[in-house]
Amino acid sequence: MAGLLLPAELSYPKPNVSLHPSKRVTLGGAVTVRCECQCPGARVLLYKAGAVGVWRATDSAGDVVEFLIRNVSRRDAGSYSCQYSTKSDPPVWSEPSDPMELVVTAAPPGHPDFNHANITRLALGAVVLLVLGLILAEAYYSRPRGTP
């Protein structure tokens, strides 16, 4: 069998992934994951390392698709990549992008760090103050009137 040609598997160029405004974000902040591709009308998929399957997906209207992550927590830290495909059946896929690492840091000095442990401490402090206030109020109102 001489000269048998097999059709090449179709694929699109890999997209670029970037993080804006920075790949370092503080707890409670916001970051945008941008997938840049030449893929108008394609389905853009965002993957997070360690997550099962597609993390987020949307249809693109142009060459840039943005995924906003608000109120960033420690679990948002990690490696993100994106890929796109046509909506045809069967779909034609791009190569996955090179991964981009999102680093989540504590709040800078002078800014509150409202993680779960700190919120618990604040609530416990409020309960202690309330109990002390009730004890003082009970002591004040239970003393006999007319005594100095």
pLDDT of the residue at 82: 94
pLDDT of the residue at 113: 56
Structural domain harbouring 46:
16-105
Instruction: Among 13-17, 85-89, 140-144, name the most confident range.
Output: 13-17
- The answer to the question of residue 3 being in a domain is no
**Over the stretch 29-72, which tens digit does the pLDDT of each residue have?**
999 999 998 777 888 999 999 887 778 888 888 888 999 999 99
- The answer to the question of residue 124 being in a domain is no
Whose CA is closest to 83, among 55, 118, 113?
A: 55
**Over the stretch 104-145, which tens digit does the pLDDT of each residue have?**
998 665 665 566 667 788 888 889 999 999 999 888 888 887
Check pLDDT > 90 for residue 18: yes
Greater confidence, 52 or 84? Answer: 84
Give the pLDDT mean for 4-22.
72
- The answer to the question of residue 43 being in a domain is yes
- The answer to the question of residue 53 being in a domain is yes
Whose CA is closest to 91, among 37, 42, 35?
A: 42
- The answer to the question of residue 98 being in a domain is yes
- The answer to the question of residue 23 being in a domain is yes
Q: CA torsion sign, 48 to 50 to 51 to 53? A: positive
- The answer to the question of residue 75 being in a domain is yes
Greater confidence, 51 or 98? Answer: 98
pLDDT of the residue at 10: 54
User: For residue 22, what is the domain's CATH number?
Assistant: 2.60.40.10
Greater confidence, 11 or 8? Answer: 11
Whose CA is closest to 19, among 35, 7, 3, 5?
A: 35
- The answer to the question of residue 8 being in a domain is no
Count of domains in the chain? 1
